[in-house]
């Protein structure tokens, strides 16, 4: 089993080496020239791709301002498709197809460009190779996705940079899981090393759960699926604690140095395993805020490069446990669009293009009130995986917010088809009382859900 750890420790060491060399050649951008545009590719063109690429148009003037955008996704009609200058429909898990597509727009990696990996479901290894051996600029660094999508690598990195994690062990057989369960005691949470949205995860409160957990994890895992991570399950988290996504930004300052700026922590609650609602500012203690920011900064500074880092954390009182990280904008962070001076997508884009940014842009815009974003989902009982969406009653939703007298908003993503519980949009509400703000955002979301028309 030793090599399972050694393999990852080696990657973590290499990542630090790569950071040094990479950052020594990164330079702030001066001129943006339409004749030789900066090429910005988003691999994945969902709502987070949209948030990043629209900023290229809105803030920098798009192709005539010297920045050309390309969006890639696997289906026709994806949200960022119509905001990009060019788009491609590609199976993003197919490395050859992806590489060909990147080289079509960036034949020479010495020309100014950046490649943003919006999601995990792409050939990350191929992207790593393009970044490491061919000099393509994978934002923020090609190593970060490699470590971030691997729970074991993530834990080892967190321990390396000295940030707290919940007690954990790893296992590669049912016997090993049982041995660990005897050793650590229950409750535990058992996760495949590579998954998202809770797939293959078991919360084990009884011995029976423990016995079924390994097989269940292996069945639902992605990639190297025979290893699981066994963590102490923090029962207090849902009752007394809360969850944070701590965003930090790596960007140039006015002297040409790369610095790490801290954003206010985003708080979120999830009844299930996927994003449900998030808000700013967070209701945690000052001490917890300080820890959240300090821990995320350490992770970002170890891996380096330019752009957003998002660290998922569990907070109970003043205690902060680090759980996962990604080197890109985060779905819970979409609330920054309403609550910060600039949203996480724009910050990610501007930073990764190489512009020197002011900290003021990362400040809270809301004063004396909370801003809550709540997901708008397709119905749970929708029949089929690709149900066409006919449209939505936009006017009704806007009129509803107005009639209620709410300070609120709606972001409709415009996805052409839906499957059960697919994320279709985001509802937003503000109020000085956090519970009231949450209630209003949920109310708008549920009203909007009833006003999307599916072809059934
Ligand atoms: N050790 C734990 N204790 C308590 N709750 C947990 C623990 N690990 C995960 N969770 C809950 O499950 C959610 C999803 O877990 P996470 O590790 O982030 O996996 P995913 O990749 O599916 O997002 C978390 O946001 C949290 O609500
Ligand atoms: Mg998570």
If phi over 0 gives left and psi between -120 and 50 gives alpha, with beta otherwise, what is residue 305?
Answer: left
199 lies in which domain range?
Answer: 167-233
Q: Where are the alpha helices (DSSP H) in 221-285?
A: 236-240
DSSP 8-state class, residue 49: H
Atom of ligand 1 nearest to the CA of 270: 27
> Strand, coil or helix: what is 349?
helix
Pairing outcome for strands 113-117 and 138-139: parallel
Does some domain include residue 449?
yes
How many whole angstroms separate alpha carbon 235 and alpha carbon 227?
Answer: 24
Taking the alpha carbons at both ends of the chain, their separation in whole angstroms is 51
My answer on whether 227 and 255 are in the same domain is no
- Measured between alpha carbons, how far is residue 81 from residues 40, 57, 209 in Å? 14, 13, 44
My answer on whether 290 and 413 are in the same domain is yes
Residue bearing the CA closest to ligand 1, atom 12: 273
My answer on whether 106 and 221 are in the same domain is no
Helix (H) or strand (E) run with residue 204 in it: strand 202-204
The pLDDT of residue 197: 85
Residue whose token pair is 């957990």? 213
pLDDT, mean of residues 85-106: 98
Residue 293: alpha-carbon gap to chain centroid: 17
Q: Within 13 A of 8's CA, how many CA atoms are on the CB side?
A: 23
Whether 246 contacts 310, CB under 8 Å: yes
Whether 217 contacts 200, CB under 8 Å: yes
Q: What is the mean pLDDT of the chain?
A: 96
Cα-atom radius of gyration of the chain, to the nearest Å?
A: 22
How many whole angstroms separate alpha carbon 322 and alpha carbon 52?
Answer: 26
The pLDDT of residue 273: 84
Whether 303 contacts 143, CB under 8 Å: yes
Flag whether pLDDT at 84 surpasses 90: yes
Does some domain include residue 162?
no
Residue 231 Cβ inside 6 Å of ligand 1? The answer reads yes
My answer on whether 90 and 228 are in the same domain is no
What tokens appear for 281 in the block? 């500012």
Measure the CA dihedral 36/42/46/50, to 10°: -30
User: In total, how many domains does the chain have?
Assistant: 3
Residue whose token pair is 């998202």? 196
Q: Which of 177, 211, 233 is the last residue of a domain?
A: 233
Residue 324 Cβ inside 6 Å of ligand 1? The answer reads yes
My answer on whether 384 and 257 are in the same domain is yes
My answer on whether 245 and 371 are in the same domain is yes
Flag whether pLDDT at 358 surpasses 90: yes
Q: Name the nearest CA neighbour of 328 among 151, 118, 14.
A: 118
Q: Which of 233, 266, 286 is the last residue of a domain?
A: 233
Does some domain include residue 192?
yes
Task: Identify the CATH number of the domain in which residue 77 sits.
Answer: 3.40.50.20
My answer on whether 174 and 307 are in the same domain is no
Does some domain include residue 16?
no
Does some domain include residue 22?
no
**Cβ count within 10 A of residue 45:** 29
Whether 273 contacts 291, CB under 8 Å: no
Flag whether pLDDT at 408 surpasses 90: yes
Our mutation pick for probing the ligand 1 site, out of 186, 189, 320, counting the most ligand atoms within 8 A of Cβ, is 189
What tokens appear for 408 in the block? 């609120």
How many whole angstroms separate alpha carbon 5 and alpha carbon 267?
Answer: 32
My answer on whether 133 and 197 are in the same domain is no
Residue 389 Cβ inside 6 Å of ligand 1? The answer reads no
The pLDDT of residue 425: 98
Residue 63 Cβ inside 6 Å of ligand 1? The answer reads no
The pLDDT of residue 158: 98
My answer on whether 303 and 222 are in the same domain is no
Flag whether pLDDT at 86 surpasses 70: yes
Whether 202 contacts 189, CB under 8 Å: yes
Q: Name residues whose C-beta falls within 8 Å of residue 279's C-beta, 6 or more positions apart in sequence.
A: 266, 267, 268, 335, 339, 370, 371, 372, 373, 434, 437, 438
Whether 43 contacts 92, CB under 8 Å: yes
Atom of ligand 1 nearest to the CA of 232: 1
How many whole angstroms separate alpha carbon 234 and alpha carbon 344?
Answer: 29
Q: Name the nearest CA neighbour of 138 among 12, 310, 15.
A: 15
Flag whether pLDDT at 424 surpasses 80: yes
My answer on whether 301 and 405 are in the same domain is yes
pLDDT, mean of residues 241-260: 98
Our mutation pick for probing the ligand 1 site, out of 201, 203, 320, 321, counting the most ligand atoms within 8 A of Cβ, is 201
Task: Identify the CATH number of the domain in which residue 216 sits.
Answer: 3.30.1490.20
Does some domain include residue 366?
yes
Flag whether pLDDT at 96 surpasses 70: yes
Our mutation pick for probing the ligand 1 site, out of 149, 165, 314, counting the most ligand atoms within 8 A of Cβ, is 314
Q: How confident is the model at residue 223 (pLDDT cuts 50, 70, 90)?
A: low
> Strand, coil or helix: what is 52?
helix
Whether 233 contacts 309, CB under 8 Å: no
Q: List pLDDT tens digits, range 123-173.
A: 999 999 999 999 999 999 999 999 999 999 999 999 999 999 999 999 999
Residue bearing the CA closest to ligand 1, atom 14: 273
Q: Name the nearest CA neighbour of 437 among 411, 407, 410.
A: 407
Does some domain include residue 245?
yes
Burial class (CB in 10 A: 0-12, 13-18, 19+), 386: exposed
Task: Identify the CATH number of the domain in which residue 318 sits.
Answer: 3.30.470.20
Residue 23 Cβ inside 6 Å of ligand 1? The answer reads no
Flag whether pLDDT at 70 surpasses 70: yes
C-alpha of residue 267 to centroid of ligand 2, in Å: 13
Flag whether pLDDT at 1 surpasses 80: no
- Measured between alpha carbons, how far is residue 243 from residues 271, 297, 329, 433 in Å? 12, 18, 17, 19
Flag whether pLDDT at 397 surpasses 70: yes
Q: Where are the alpha helices (DSSP H) in 370-451?
A: 394-404, 434-449
What tokens appear for 128 in the block? 């790593």
How many whole angstroms separate alpha carbon 307 and alpha carbon 52?
Answer: 11
Flag whether pLDDT at 52 surpasses 70: yes
Lowest mean pLDDT among 196-200, 222-226, 451-455: 222-226
Q: How confident is the model at residue 221 (pLDDT cuts 50, 70, 90)?
A: confident
What tokens appear for 251 in the block? 């960007």
Flag whether pLDDT at 452 surpasses 90: yes
C-alpha of residue 273 to centroid of ligand 1, in Å: 7
Q: List pLDDT tens digits, range 303-327.
A: 999 999 999 999 999 999 999 999 9
Ligand nearest to the CA of 197: 1
Q: Name the nearest CA neighbour of 229 among 149, 292, 142, 118.
A: 149
Whether 53 contacts 38, CB under 8 Å: no
Percent of the residues in the chain that have a pLDDT greater than 70, as a whole number = 99
Flag whether pLDDT at 343 surpasses 70: yes
Residue 331 Cβ inside 6 Å of ligand 1? The answer reads no
Q: Name the nearest CA neighbour of 188 among 154, 222, 211.
A: 211
My answer on whether 134 and 222 are in the same domain is no
My answer on whether 316 and 435 are in the same domain is yes
Residue 166 Cβ inside 6 Å of ligand 1? The answer reads yes
Does some domain include residue 148?
no
């Amino acid at each position: 089993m030793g090599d399972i750890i050694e393999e990852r420790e080696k990657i973590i060491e290499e990542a630090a080496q790569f950071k040094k060399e990479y950052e020594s050649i990164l330079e702030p951008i001066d001129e943006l020239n339409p004749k030789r545009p900066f090429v910005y590719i988003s691999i994945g063109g969902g709502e987070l791709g949209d948030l990043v690429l629209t900023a290229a148009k809105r803030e920098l003037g798009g192709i005539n301002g010297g920045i050309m955008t390309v969006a890639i996704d696997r289906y026709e009609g994806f949200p960022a498709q119509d905001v990009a200058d060019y788009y491609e429909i590609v199976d993003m898990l197919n490395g050859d197809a992806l590489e060909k597509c990147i080289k079509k727009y960036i034949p020479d990696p010495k020309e100014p460009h950046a490649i943003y990996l919006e999601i995990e479901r792409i050939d990350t290894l191929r992207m790593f190779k393009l970044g490491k051996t061919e000099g393509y600029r994978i934002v923020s660094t090609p190593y970060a996705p490699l470590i971030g999508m691997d729970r074991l690598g993530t834990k080892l990195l967190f321990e390396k940079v000295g940030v707290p994690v919940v007690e954990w062990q790893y296992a590669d057989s049912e016997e090993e899981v049982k041995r660990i369960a005897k050793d650590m005691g229950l409750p535990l949470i058992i996760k495949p090393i590579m998954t998202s949205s809770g797939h293959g995860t078991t919360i084990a409160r009884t011995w029976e759960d423990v016995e079924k957990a390994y097989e269940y994890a292996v069945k639902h895992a992605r990639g190297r699926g025979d290893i699981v991570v066994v963590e102490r399950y923090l029962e207090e988290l849902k009752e007394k604690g809360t969850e944070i996504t701590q965003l930090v930004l790596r960007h140039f300052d006015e002297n040409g140095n790369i610095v790490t700026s801290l954003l206010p922590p985003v708080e979120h609650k999830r009844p299930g395993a996927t994003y449900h609602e998030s808000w700013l500012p967070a209701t945690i203690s000052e001490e917890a805020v300080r820890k959240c920011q300090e821990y995320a900064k350490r992770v970002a500074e170890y891996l380096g490069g330019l752009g957003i880092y998002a660290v998922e954390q569990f907070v109970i009182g003043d205690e902060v446990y680090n759980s996962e990280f990604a080197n890109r904008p985060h779905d819970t962070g979409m609330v920054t669009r309403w609550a910060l001076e600039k949203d996480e997508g724009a910050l990610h884009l501007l930073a990764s293009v190489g512009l020197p940014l002011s900290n003021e842009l990362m400040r809270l815009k809301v004063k004396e009130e909370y801003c809550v974003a709540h997901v708008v989902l397709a119905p749970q009982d929708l029949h089929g995986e690709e149900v066409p969406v006919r449209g939505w009653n936009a006017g009704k939703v806007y009129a509803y917010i107005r009639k209620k007298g709410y300070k609120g908003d709606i972001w409709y993503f415009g996805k052409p088809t839906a499957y059960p519980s697919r994320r279709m949009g985001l509802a937003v509400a503000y109020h000085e009382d956090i519970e009231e703000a949450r209630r209003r955002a949920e109310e708008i979301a549920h009203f909007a859900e009833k006003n999307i028309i599916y072809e059934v």
